[in-house]
Amino acid sequence: MTPLLAVDLGGTKLVACLVSEGKVLSRVKVKTRVEDGPSGIAVQIAACCREALSGSGLALDGIAAVGVAVPGLVEHATGTVVQAPNLGWESFKAQAKLESLLGRPVVLENDVNAGLVGEWAYGSLKPFQGLQGRQVPLAALFVGTGVGGALMLGGSLVTGWSGVAGELGHMKVSEDGPKCGCGRRGCLEALASRSAIEKALGKKRGKLTSGRIAQLLDRKGSRKLKKAVSRAAHYLGVGVANIVTIFNPRAVVLGGGFMEALGERLLPDIMGSAREHSFAKGLRDCKVLLSALGDDAVPLGAAHLAAASLGNR
Ligand SMILES: [Zn+2]
Q: Looking at residue 180, what DSSP letter applies?
A: P
205 has pLDDT over 90? no
Span 108-125, average pLDDT: 97
pLDDT tier, 311 (very low <50, low <70, confident <90, very high otherwise):
confident
Contact criterion met (CB below 8 Å) for 153 and 136: yes
For residue 94, the model assigns a pLDDT of: 98
**pLDDT tens string 49-77:** 999 999 899 999 999 999 999 999 999 99
Rounded to the nearest angstrom, the distance between the alpha carbon of 172 and the centre of ligand 1 is 8
281 has pLDDT over 70? yes
Rounded to the nearest angstrom, the distance between the alpha carbon of 196 and the centre of ligand 1 is 11
Rounded to the nearest angstrom, the distance between the alpha carbon of 235 and the centre of ligand 1 is 14
Rounded to the nearest angstrom, the distance between the alpha carbon of 149 and the centre of ligand 1 is 12
For residue 261, the model assigns a pLDDT of: 96
For residue 220, the model assigns a pLDDT of: 79
Rounded to the nearest angstrom, the distance between the alpha carbon of 174 and the centre of ligand 1 is 11
Rounded to the nearest angstrom, the distance between the alpha carbon of 178 and the centre of ligand 1 is 10
Contact criterion met (CB below 8 Å) for 87 and 71: yes
Rounded to the nearest angstrom, the distance between the alpha carbon of 168 and the centre of ligand 1 is 9
Q: Which amino acid is at 38?
A: P
Span 39-50, average pLDDT: 98
Rounded to the nearest angstrom, the distance between the alpha carbon of 71 and the centre of ligand 1 is 15
For residue 268, the model assigns a pLDDT of: 98
Cα–Cα–Cα angle for 266, 237, 268, rounded to 5 degrees:
35
313 has pLDDT over 80? no
Cα atoms in the 13 Å half-sphere on the side-chain side of 263: 19
Q: Comparing C-alpha atoms, which of 134, 146, 152 is closest to residue 252?
A: 152
**pLDDT tens string 71-86:** 999 999 999 999 998 8
Rounded to the nearest angstrom, the distance between the alpha carbon of 192 and the centre of ligand 1 is 11
Contact criterion met (CB below 8 Å) for 242 and 277: yes
Specify burial of residue 55 (Cβ count, 10 A radius: 0-12, 13-18, 19+): exposed
**pLDDT tens string 161-186:** 988 899 999 999 999 999 998 899 99
Rounded to the nearest angstrom, the distance between the alpha carbon of 50 and the centre of ligand 1 is 36
Whole-number percent of the chain with pLDDT over 70: 99
312 has pLDDT over 90? no
Rounded to the nearest angstrom, the distance between the alpha carbon of 147 and the centre of ligand 1 is 9
304 has pLDDT over 80? yes
Rounded to the nearest angstrom, the distance between the alpha carbon of 190 and the centre of ligand 1 is 7
Q: Mean pLDDT score of the chain, rounded to an integer? A: 94
Helix 257-277 to helix 223-247 angle (10° resolution) is 60
Q: 81 has which bridge partners? A: 74, 92
Rounded to the nearest angstrom, the distance between the alpha carbon of 144 and the centre of ligand 1 is 14
For residue 221, the model assigns a pLDDT of: 76
Helix (H, G, I), strand (E, B), or coil: what is residue 28? strand
Rounded distance between C-alpha atoms, residue 257 and residue 59, angstroms: 32
310 has pLDDT over 90? no
Residue with more model confidence, 266 or 163: 266
Rounded to the nearest angstrom, the distance between the alpha carbon of 24 and the centre of ligand 1 is 33
Rounded to the nearest angstrom, the distance between the alpha carbon of 134 and the centre of ligand 1 is 33
Rounded to the nearest angstrom, the distance between the alpha carbon of 123 and the centre of ligand 1 is 28
**pLDDT tens string 7-21:** 999 988 999 999 999
String of DSSP letters for 73-102 = EEEGGGTEEEEETTTTEEEE-HHHHHHHHH
pTM, entire model:
0.95
Q: Which helix (H) or strand (E) holds 66?
A: strand 66-70
Provide the residue count of the chain: 313
Rounded distance between C-alpha atoms, residue 123 and residue 114, angstroms: 12
Residue 98 to residues 45, 49, 60, 64, 249: CA-CA distances in angstroms?
8, 11, 13, 14, 35
Which residues have CB atoms below 5 A from the ion given as ligand 1? Answer: 170, 180, 182, 187
Q: Which helix (H) or strand (E) holds 251?
A: strand 251-255
Structural domains in the chain plus CATH codes: 4-111+296-310 (3.30.420.40), 124-292 (3.30.420.40)
Q: Which residues contact 175 (CB under 8 A, 6 or more apart)?
A: 185, 186
Rounded to the nearest angstrom, the distance between the alpha carbon of 305 and the centre of ligand 1 is 27
Span 274-301, average pLDDT: 96
pLDDT tier, 48 (very low <50, low <70, confident <90, very high otherwise):
very high
Q: Which residues contact 290 (CB under 8 A, 6 or more apart)?
A: 124, 253, 254, 255, 259, 263, 264, 267
Span 34-57, average pLDDT: 96
